[in-house]
Amino acid sequence: MFALKNRIYYSLKFAKCCQSRNFRVGKATLESVNLKGSSFLTLKDFNAEEIKHILWVSADLKHRIKHRGEYVPLLQGKSIAMIFEKRSTRTRMSTETGFSLLGGHPCFLTPQDIHLGVNESTTDTARVLSGLADIVLARVYSHSSLEHLDRDASIPIINGLSDLYHPIQILADLLTLQEHYGSLKGLTLAWIGDGNNVLHSFMMSLAKLGVNLKVATPKGYEPDANVTQEAQRLSKKFGTKLQFLTDPVEAAQDSSVLVTDTWVSMGQEEEKKKRLKDFHGYQITMQAADFLYQLVQAPNPNFHACELQLYDSI
């Protein structure tokens, strides 16, 4: 009973704290959402209530662990198998650190440690990991590898990146924007760059949260046609604006945040010379952001240089 009272007290205190930090806790995020046992391959599979709930839990844990210094061993006795066909400093460190902070044990597996679909079939890998781990995060080349793992595994599979989607990156971005603006609804995000997996995940989530999206890509680098069709359906359903452009300045106009990504992803090294040429002018630096802001200056009160989400660009 004491623990229950303490938790209720903390939840009310956290909600008040969030409001004082301009972090508006929506009603949907406080309702019961049961995601236990669910895999996370794409944000396409999650509705608005579920995404908001994930963001609320993330903000709660971040506040408790980072700002209050609490130890929250929710994953004590649990292990995560981390399959990395594609290396990543940030994804590996954030996953291992986060899982450890929650009391769990991360196990890092490279192509040298695990031969996914080569010496050992994907089905066998899924079955073995299901018996030894509690969850799998896989950072792979082909999205079909994740779908195969998910079909044959009896434990949840998380997409750490695939050629089609990068949902955990977008959850981190959405949490950042929510912390800055207090609410996501009504914001306009401008994507300037490649029509890649990161953009695809934005396209599968923003409309559900009431966020408008402008996409500026060079000709020939547009997002996947099937993803675009679904994004258009979502935009119409939730009443948001979705635009596809080729001019970065036009995309930046009246936007709340500018987002880009690397022009040459792992596996595209042979295209580097051509991509560097084709993506000229699609780079976002603080100087470029200031330049774009001056060009579109019919001032947008929601736009602040300090609130730009900047990625490493070539």
Residue for token pair 């947008």: 300
Over the chain (314 residues), the average pLDDT of each successive run of 10 is 41 46 46 88 97 95 95 97 93 95 96 77 93 97 96 97 96 95 95 95 98 96 97 98 94 90 74 85 71 56 42 31
Active site residue 107: no
Q: Which of 261, 278, 290, 312 is catalytic?
A: 261
| Residue 151, CA distances (Å) to 80, 119, 293, 309, 312 in order | 18, 19, 47, 35, 34
Domain extents in the chain: 43-161, 183-295
Active site residue 306: yes
Position 259 scores a pLDDT of 92
Residue for token pair 């999650």: 46
Report yes or no on whether pTM surpasses 0.85: no
What gap in Å lies between CA 163 and CA 46, rounded to an integer? 19
3-state secondary structure of 108: strand
What gap in Å lies between CA 185 and CA 288, rounded to an integer? 26
Position 265 scores a pLDDT of 73
Tell me which of 1.10.357.10, 3.40.50.1370, 3.30.1300.10, 1.10.10.60 is the CATH number of domain 43-161.
Answer: 3.40.50.1370
What gap in Å lies between CA 48 and CA 312, rounded to an integer? 29
Position 6 scores a pLDDT of 43
* CB within 8 Å of 83: residues ≥ 6 apart: 109, 114, 116, 136, 137, 138, 139, 140, 160
Position 9 scores a pLDDT of 41
C-alpha angle 92-36-160 in degrees, rounded to nearest 5: 20
Position 10 scores a pLDDT of 41
Number of H-type helices and E-type strands within the chain: 12, 8
* CB within 8 Å of 233: residues ≥ 6 apart: none
Contact 117/91 with Cβ under 8 angstroms? no
Position 296 scores a pLDDT of 54
Note whether 43-161 and 183-295 share their fold: yes
For residue 138, list its beta bridge partners.
Answer: 83, 159
Please state which CATH number belongs to domain 183-295: 3.40.50.1370
Position 287 scores a pLDDT of 62
